[in-house]
Structure 1
Amino acid sequence: MRFTKGILFATALTLFFFQAFSQNWKVKQILLQSRWAKDVDPNHTLEAYPRPQMKRKAWTNLNGLWDYAITVQTSILPSNFDGKILVPYPLESALSGVQKGLKPEQNLWYRRIINRPKLKTGEKVLLHFGAVDWQATVFVNGKEAGNHTGGYTAFSFDITPFLNRENNEIVVKVYDPTDKGIGPHGKQVLNPANIYYTPSSGIWQTVWLETVPAVHISGLTSTPDVDQGVLKVVTNMAGTDENYSVRITAFSEGKKISSVNGKAGAQVSLEIPHAHLWFPDDPFLYDLSVELLKGNKVVDKVQSYFGMRKVAIQKDEKGFNRIFLNNKYVYNLGVLDQGFWPDGLYSAPTDEAMEFDIKAIKEMGFNTIRKHIKIEPVRWYYYADKLGMMVWQDMVNPNQSLPAGAKDEFEKEAKEALDQLHNYPSITTWVLFNERWGAYDQERLTKWMKDYDPSRIVNGHSGELLYVNDKLRSPSKQPYINSDLTDVHSYPDPRNPLQLPSKSMVLGEFGGVGVPVPGHQWDDLQGWGYVQVTPDQLERRYREMTNQLKTLEVQGLSGSIYTQPFDVEGEENGLMTYDREIIKIPMARLREINGTIIKSNDAVAKSVAVKDIDLHDTDERYAEFLKDFDNGKRDSVFLRRLILISLRQKDTVRTKELSSAYINSRNSLYTLENLRFISVITQKSTDPGLVLFKNNAEKVNAIFGPNAAARKIKDIIQREEIDPFLKNNMIPHWDEIQNKVKSKYGDFGEAYIIGRRLFYYWTVSKEWDKFGEYYVLYYKSQLKNNEFHINNISWDVFEHVSDKDVLAFAAEVMKYDIEQFDSTDPYAFDTYANILYKLGRKEEALKLERSALELADDKKVYLEAISKMEKGIPTWKTDN
């Protein structure tokens, strides 16, 4: 693909105007955002060094404002871009400044102009991407530099051959079908509900340039061997096939303790005398220097670090198989961390926010995080290493329907994840599949994972047995084969898994106790948890569960994962709210409860700033809130909460007043968030929201989706005018209803009632004469807005209606259906043919029936119809 010089010249102007564009960027309006959103600066975006395990000095951060465009998938580079997007926040996030969804048939484009770094002779420029979801193709000055599939792992390209001295154009094309494609997508789905969340398309981790020598270190693999007191290191290089050597040196608190020379590409063993071992309560890290040598000359050098730790399944003094860390039994007390943010989705707003999560979980008194079907930026694992947090790292689940290609893609991306994260001592456990989501070949893949990385334990089947309210939802014939762990999920109360030889027992998920916190909700309309309790009940419930864990531990349990540390979108079962502002059990008491399971280091810094939940902030404050409203309080969060309380209190008068105030006080009424809320609180024809949907349908549909306004009005008509009859098994007074609705809603309302009458005569009363009459009335005005399956309803016209005029009309309807929708559907041709045959148009009918025969796989029914038509026998049911 080549781009014109004119485009390059035009885009170069963005360098000059970059500051002006920065001033125009702002966070999109959302109901909930974290405290760190205010610290996001488009001129200084996530500036921390992105790869702590392999640091060099010569690098350039490319985060910031890029041009973006969304096009159809077949489009080449757009000539015009839609605006600016803040990299590296996902397209759908508020922090991106765009907050738009990406459809499976679309591409997302990024563009930025850069200057080439100053280079010495032979030096190269690498372009790095932390992660792009899902498929990325990178162009530099119009030429393809490379492509990568996989939404969670880093990749880079040598772009030196493509660079000019100045004004270099980088273009990234992204294709991300989310759950409609073959790639692993985790909990991202295009239509999220309950335990699934908003997608994160495009660039969502740091983009950066790095200057390297012609021959350079391309990767490190370091594996501690605690029993032998060595660190095993493999240094890979790029740029030549010649023999080079490496010098690897370890430092402890700035002092050199050991050094070794060896061959590049080969494993060398670096002795670590009197190793200071890594534990959650003592997360000691050594510094590591790796030098690439040609003769005695250092040609490249990187800085890294490592921790000395060992994880294994070993028997304790009572004969239980336990999880041992550095040859000591350590109970894994953990939480299920999803890694989502209200404002950044997959991307933490700032580096401080990313570190906060691990600090908060540590201060709660946990020593383990199960990172749930998401791969984080590598700085997250650096903080886990530094702060002392054991990590169970999930693989990202494949598309659960396993379309062709999904298995190969899953295995490719899983291997990339294992390679990328190998060096982080905090990761003690790999988790292959979660609750069998997209699971296949578990025996083979679990063995592969153990063989590929024998330095960790492997949980191949987390939640293969799943219990909800003590009922087994997912039986299995051969659970936990090849796994180091038996892992059960049990909601809400904990239980032990199966006890099997050589395997340790863990509880991979439990809890899920929901407590909504008003004013701190992503979705104030529908919070979710496996069980709901009031704020004052949560601490008691959590303490009871922890006491159960202590009993289970005596019986052999070695680890447990509570769902979850933070609320996530509609899930309100976190110990802390989604915005990380409110903790639902006071931190000191939560830490004290967890301290009955593990004794954590009290020296952990109490640096997490959160507020305790207000146990009295309930619907009982309704009178107080109404007083505030009467005194003029009108902010959005307050009004939304007050309206929802009034609905629960069935205070219809106040609900109407409050709803009017909400609609009238919004400066930007036509947002998805506002329209969704107004739709939910608009339940009656007298509600003020209905006027908005009736009088501003075009605006509503543009934001809320096609025909959204009509659907809301139809819903109210159905609820008020028709459902009272149907719920009481009464025959609706259709003529009365139709006249009443027409007087209130005009032709639109009358057309809806005609459709309801048609459906009633078709499926309930089976009055076929009326059915035929209303079939004609309905399709005369609603053929292009049809809400029924044309072929199905028209077949019943053929079978049950004898009126020639109705049949002739049905033939025209079927002709339209085939021309517009069903040109390859044999059933449609069959229906059309039979209607024509019943009208006496035999030759036309036979021609159509033969077309149906050609289209069909199973031809029997069509051959029978042709035979009857040729013999002049009715193809419809008769009294004879």
Structure 2
Amino acid sequence: MPRKKLITVLYCSLFLIGSAIQHSCAQSSLKTKWAAGVSKGTPLPEYPRPQLQRATWLNLNGSWQYSIYPKSQQPGNYAGNILVPYAVESALSGVQKTVGKDSMLSYKRSFTLPSNYKNKRILLHFGAVDWQTTVFINGRQAGTHEGGYDPFSFDITDLLKKSGAQEIVVNVWDPSDDGPQPRGKQVKNPHGIWYTPVTGIWQTVWIEPVAPTYITALKPTPDIDKQSLQLAVSTQNLQPGDVIKVSATDGGQAVASETLTDNGAVTLQVPNAKLWSPSSPFLYDLTVSIVRKGKVIDEAGSYFAMRKIAIAPDEKGVQRMMLNNQFVFQFGPLDQGWWPDGLYTAPTDEALRFDIEQTKAMGFNMIRKHVKVEPARWYHYADSLGMLVWQDMPSGDLGNGWENRPGVTGRGTDKNRDQRSETIYRTEWKAIMDALYPFPSIVVWVPFNEAWGQFKTEEITKWTMEHDPSRLVNSASGGNFYQVGHMIDLHSYPDPAMPRADLFGKQQALVLGEYGGLGLPLNGHTWRQEDNWGYRTFKNADEMLKVYSGFCDRLKKLIGEGLSAAVYTQTTDVEMEVNGLMTYDREVMKMNEEGLKAANEAVVNTK
């Protein structure tokens, strides 16, 4: 392939938009069909942790009091009510106000524990809060947390009153793009590819009663070649003589069972394993119990899948991405996970599932989750519906420069992050990987995108690979390439292209991490009425499908030359961007669905 093809528009996003067009969330009335179904009592009532389920829990979503006040002052009177877990800037929160680096956001509510929680340890869980959180129970500090995308918990047992109403206060500070923390596409002045800030609680808040000895985490690692599953079990306050029992079942039929007597790992043999894939997303059920003198002290339900992701050379010696020891071309959209009414938070669980269902219906087998992390239930739906997932680390601390020296392709400068910034990144990336490890749909970790805050590339990539050797690592999607990680990832807009097989293919899999961006604004379904944009804008769906299908034909040729995966931009429109396959409100599929599915399936089935 000529060198000029490789250097086609690599760094699209950074240079495409020249002017900032400010707006606020309140200026748009665009909503999804699910907004009307949001419960004002307990929105998102579904159990939030599918990989470690217990029968008893208390959902704290719903109406809280809120206050926005200067960071230099103490919180004053609460200003009104906010609907948790929708960010304060979102329409569904009922507030639609910005906060910013100079202000704090405070939440308050009371709750009463059911009588059957007596003699239990009481855990307070947060799915995600952006960004720095301090929690008080009955006026006493329960703990602090930094991180906008990882779940966290506090044991609040010793802070509770013996009976009656308990008060919870949550104080949040989020500097958005004025701070070095991971924040994805959020900016205080939204424009172009940068969107409305998300501050505060944006995933489910809940309480869980547990025994003094309880299971804290499960880490399943399948090995299809050995027909086995290694399961690491972590517990709190395990006592001498306690036994941890693990059992796997298939439709209620026993598959394997083992026991262990301390925090550690156990190996389950899974003969004649049913392998997980997009075409057959089979999940085994898992039950883990702590038994003391014949009595079950704690028990949790979970699941796992038998699947393997790897790279291996084809007959030409070009590295290919392999699923279950076979080449499967991975093809899917760039998925930002934004909503016009809930911003980071889908209005309902049905809406959360919808995007994956529609992506599957379009004929794709993969989703790249772009610089955002979703609630655990999203990954559960990817597991159960059969969708491969590439998981990005949310970007932060931007400001890198690109090298434009002659002959240098896809190279930027590593950012010199200070120690505070580096610690924030490492802490949250590790927490994200640990929280998402149990979900088999995730097959690729992406530490950096287009040199956005990229630093110590080789070190961070090797650290990511060592932390999770069961998955592939795409060190730098779209630029600033180093000879490290499992793949080299080109971005090319709008036409598809690929890295040169003769230069890179013997060492790394060749992937097209972003391309496309075909835009079609549809009146009545846009975030704003004018100044919308796509990488290439069309006036009608037929013309758009013709060009899209031509791109698919091009991909089929590139697969023959060594391409292993491609990511089309993007699932839906997002705010000012109108290059989605669906409108932002998810009301309209922009191209003929049958034609789109046929074109995509032809790509996926190319060998």
The alignment's TM-score, normalised by the length of structure 2, stands at 0.90
In structure 2, list runs of 5 or more residues that go unmatched.
1-24, 400-416
Deviation at 1:243, TM superposition (A): 5.9
Aligned partner of 1:44 in structure 2 is 42
Q: Which residue of 1 aligns with 2:382?
A: 384
Partner Cα distance (2:517, 2:321) in 1: 24
2:490 counterpart of 1:446:
no
Alpha-carbon offset, residue 123 of structure 1: 1.3
SS of match in other structure, 2:31: coil
**How many residues are paired up?**
560
Q: Distance in 2 between matches of 1:338 and 1:245?
A: 43
Alignment of 1:597 with 2:603, yes or no, is yes
Query: Superposition pairs for residues 540-689 of structure 1, below 5 Å?
Result: 540-599=546-605
Distance verdict in 2 for CA 1:526–1:274, change over 3 Å? same
Measured in 2, the distance between the counterparts of 1:404 and 1:516 equals 44
Q: How well do the aligned residues superpose, as a CA RMSD in angstroms?
A: 1.5
Q: Look up the SS of the partner of 1:486 in the other structure.
A: strand
Tell me, what secondary structure is at the counterpart of 1:279? coil
Matches within 5 A, 1:455-604: 455-464=470-479, 476=480, 479-499=481-501, 500=504, 501-535=506-540, 536-599=542-605
- 1:480-532 Cα shifts (integer Å, max 9, x gaps): 32210011000000111133223110000000111111110002221111111
Q: Secondary structure at the match of 2:222?
A: strand
**Distance in 1, Cα, partners of 2:262 & 2:107:** 37
Residue type at the aligned position of 2:48: P
Counterpart in the other structure of 2:437: 422
How far does residue 537 in structure 1 lie from its aligned partner after superposition? 1.4
Q: Quick check: 1:29–1:94 contact (8 Å CA) kept in 2?
A: no
* Alpha-carbon shift at residue 293 of structure 1 (Å): 2.2
Q: Give the Cα–Cα distance (whole angstroms) in 1 for the partners of residues 73 and 219 of structure 2.
A: 41
2:424 matched to which residue of 1?
A: 409
Aligned mates of 1:489, 1:315 — CA distance in 2? 23
Deviation at 1:295, TM superposition (A): 4.1
The residue aligned with 1:665 is none
Question: Who is 1:86 aligned against?
Answer: 83
Contact 1:127–1:158 (CA under 8 A) maintained in structure 2: yes
Given the superposition, is the C-alpha separation of residues 193 and 404 from structure 1 closer, same or farther in structure 2, using an over 3 Å criterion? Answer: farther
Instruction: Name the residue aligned to 2:150.
Output: 153
Alignment of 1:30-109 (within 5 A): 30-78=28-76, 80-109=77-106
Counterpart Cα distance in 2 of 1:216 and 1:543? 53
CA contact (8 A) 1:486 1:498 kept: no
Q: Could you say what secondary structure the match of 1:385 adopts?
A: helix
SS at match of 2:459: helix
Q: CA deviation at 1:48?
A: 0.6
The CA distance in 1 between the partners of 2:507 and 2:252, in whole Å, is 41
Aligned to 1:301: 299
SS of match in other structure, 2:34? helix
Distance 1:440 1:73 in 2: 30
Aligned to 1:375: 373
Rounded to whole Å, the distance in 1 between the matches of 2:419 and 2:252 is: 53
Match of 1:35, SS?
Answer: coil
- Alignment of structure 1 residues 261-340 onto 2, 5 Å: 261-340=259-338
* Aligned-partner Cα distance in 2 for 1:337–1:120: 40
Deviates more, 1:219-228 or 1:336-345: 219-228
Match of 2:451 in 1: 436
Cα 1:575–1:415 shift into 2, 3 Å: same
Taking the TM superposition and a 5 Å limit, the aligned residue runs for 1:350-369 are 350-369=348-367
Q: Distance in 2 between the 1:206 and 1:445 partners?
A: 31
For 1:766-845, list aligned pairs within 5 A. Answer: none
- 1:296 Cα deviation after fit: 3.1
- CA deviations 1:397-455 (Å, max 9, x no partner) are 12214465111101100000000000100000001100010001000010011111010
Q: Report the structure, 1 or 2, having the larger strand content.
A: 2
Could you say what secondary structure the match of 1:43 adopts?
A: coil
Aligned to 2:406: none
CA distance in 2, matches of 1:566, 1:306: 30
Q: Tell whether the 8 Å contact from 1:397 to 1:410 is kept in structure 2 after alignment.
A: no
Q: Is the contact between residue 116 and residue 163 of structure 1 (CA under 8 Å) also seen in structure 2?
A: no
What secondary structure, in the 3-state scheme, does the structure 2 residue paired with 1:184 have?
coil
How far is the alpha carbon of 1:263 from its aligned partner? Answer: 2.8
Identify if the C-alpha distance between structure 1 residues 404 and 236 changes in structure 2 by more than 3 Å, giving closer, same or farther: closer
Are 1:59 and 1:210, in contact at CA under 8 Å, matched by a contact in 2?
yes
Q: In 2, distance between residues paired with 1:166 and 1:560? A: 56
Contact 2:181 2:397 in 1 (8 A): yes
Deviation at 1:28, TM superposition (A): 7.1
SS at structure 1 position matched to 2:602: coil
Distance of aligned partners of 1:120 and 1:463 in 2 relative to their CA distance in 1, 3 Å threshold: closer
How big is the shift at 1:119?
A: 4.6
Distance 2:239 2:104 in 1: 39
Deviations 1:524-570 (A, max 9, x none): 22111111122231011101111110111110000000000100000
In the aligned structure 2, how far is the partner of 1:434 from the partner of 1:366?
Answer: 22
Question: Does structure 2 retain, via aligned residues, the 8 Å contact 1:119–1:211?
Answer: no
Q: Partner letter of residue 107 of structure 2?
A: Y
Tell me the equivalent position of 2:138: 141
Asked if 1 retains the 8 angstrom alpha-carbon contact of 2:572 and 2:581, the reply is: yes
Instruction: Specify every segment of 5 or more residues in structure 1 that has no aligned partner in the other structure, as ranges.
Output: 1-26, 465-475, 601-880
- Deviation of 1:77 (Å): 3.6
Shift of 1:264: 3.0
> Cα offset for 1:599?
4.0
What letter matches 2:482 in structure 1?
Y
The residue number in structure 2 matching 1:208 is 206
Deviations 1:758-817 (A, max 9, x none): xxxxxxxxxxxxxxxxxxxxxxxxxxxxxxxxxxxxxxxxxxxxxxxxxxxxxxxxxxxx
Higher mean C-alpha displacement, 235-244 vs 282-291: 235-244
**Secondary structure class of the residue paired with 1:357:** helix
Structure 1 distance, partners of 2:153, 2:233, is 18
Cα distance in 1 for partners of 2:364, 2:84 equals: 33
* Deviation of the 1:287 alpha carbon: 0.5
Amino acid at match of 1:538: M
SS in 2 for 1:113: strand
In structure 2, C-alpha distance between the alignment counterparts of 1:430 and 1:480, rounded to whole Å: 16
Q: Which amino acid aligns with 2:302?
A: S
